[in-house]
Structure 1
């Protein structure tokens, strides 16, 4: 009796076509086009996950800098002062404090001023 590899290959093709759902035109219908489209999409998704981290850190820096400028201080001075004061707080938390709790952020700015 001859054995075929039909079940696994059909499963693989169905999986790729499911991943290509929503793509325009034949990229979501024809398997040869879907393979390329899905590979491309997966590569871009990988890159996008790395870029998202960079973009968030940039956003946090901008928010911290804006709050610093409102207190007549600079972002670089704040980071330097907090490091010298031994305050270990990351930029994500600093940005959140700058937006949600300006009083606490002002206290951190004062600590940084004293340490500089």
Structure 2
């Protein structure tokens, strides 16, 4: 019997894999079985390292911000966590990447941002303390418990609606 040549599909698949690992050294770029193993490993590593890269950059930005804060540029006995807390309370939505760039490029600007957030948070906390009478508060059970005055007003308003 004459020899039958196989189709081109498997060859085309192997050539694609060879192109992927063509820069690898030694037999890792020549043997078909090693090529498939190395391709799998490379793709898994790249997927894992993309996540690690995000984590590492975030750590770098946090370190840069913290170092500038602790140098004394911002405020005495002020920390990174306090700065982020104040920024969220004052609704200044600056991400850590931008804050790190500001901290490196212009420390005075970070000083102004932090002082502005401190002033605004102190002002907001003063308002919140004065308006606690009519605001419902949460208890440990998770149910909302109203203060006596506000619950009586609510009851009176429902009674007046029913009479009409």
Same fold (TM over 0.5): yes
Equivalent residue number for residue 90 of structure 1: 95
Cα distance in 2, alignment partners of residues 97 and 53 from structure 1: 20
**Mapped partners of 1:13, 1:93: distance in 2:** 45
Taking a change above 3 Å as real, the CA distance of residues 107 and 5 of structure 1, as seen in their structure-2 partners, is farther
Runs of 4 or more, structure 1, over 4 Å off, are none
Cα deviations by residue, 1:39-89 (Å, 9 ceiling, x for unpaired): 111100110111111111111100110111122421011011111222111
- What is the RMSD of the two structures over their aligned residues, measured on CA atoms? 1.8
Distance 1:12 1:67, change over 3 A: same
Q: Is 1:9 aligned to residue 10 of structure 2?
A: yes
TM-score (normalizing by structure 1): 0.88
Whose Rg is larger?
2
Distance change in 2, residues 1:7/1:105 (3 Å): same
Structure 1 gaps, min length 5: none
Which is richer in helix?
Answer: 1
Q: Choose between structure 1 and 2 for higher RCO, CA contacts under 8 A separated by at least 6 residues.
A: 1
TM-score (norm 2): 0.64
Aligned length: 114
